[in-house]
Structure 1
């Protein structure tokens, strides 16, 4: 099994604001994924950790998002087929996460 894809995104929002933004952002992402035919199997907060799981075309992806005081850590376990695109997925996740966590 491939190693997990990990993205650390620094922020200066504080833990509560970062979590609030991520909570709102995940609902928007959920709606977009469903329109694209991707099922959201799991989306559950436990404290400052979001556990998620999605599936499409017989591929399942699971991961976590840990919200810290100064950074957010995304860890995703990709199946072998999707692991081939890990670098591209990592770039997109980093870019979108940074946009979501940039002070406004």
Structure 2
């Protein structure tokens, strides 16, 4: 049974700029997972759908961009569900920096 995590990341970028930054930074997820991961992503409107495969499990996620908020919904499979609390805390602490960083310069 999957354990859901929902995290909101507030921002002041506007929807289009936040989408641009997330699209430009999503590749960084590979480096955030010990041992690396296979990250598949696709946009469906204002939501980027993710499948992150690592260590024999796949985490499915939806990241929905709103005008002043990014809502992240993750489904942690199996034993990863035991780490829902620490993973949610890490997302709240670092998720905005990771996903919304501007690397144009």
User: TM class, shorter-chain normalised?
Assistant: 0.7 to 0.9
Q: CA deviation at 1:80?
A: 2.4
Cα distance in 2 between the residues matched to 1:33 and 1:21: 17
Distance in 1 of aligned mates of 2:33 and 2:71 = 24
Q: Please give the residue correspondences for 1:62-77 in structure 2 after superposition, counting only pairs within 5 Å.
A: 62-77=60-75
1:1-104 matches, within 5 Å, as: 1-30=1-30, 32=31, 36-40=35-39, 42-100=40-98, 101=100
* TM-aligned CA deviation for residue 14 of structure 1: 0.4
Counterparts of 2:5 and 2:34, CA distance in 1: 25
Q: Does the CA-based 8 Å contact 1:10-1:70 persist in structure 2?
A: yes
5+ residue gaps in structure 2? Answer: none
1:24, 1:4 → 2: CA distance?
A: 25
1:14-48, CA deviations, whole angstroms, 9 ceiling, x for partnerless residues? Answer: 00111111111102324x268833222x2101121
| Superposed CA RMSD | 2.2
Cα deviation, residue 94, structure 1: 1.5
Residues 44-85 of structure 1 deviation map (CA, whole Å, 9 limit, x = unaligned): 011211000011222111010000001000000111200101
TM-score (norm 2): 0.82
Q: Shift of residue 97 of structure 1?
A: 2.2
Q: 1:67 to 1:50 in 2, by over 3 A?
A: same
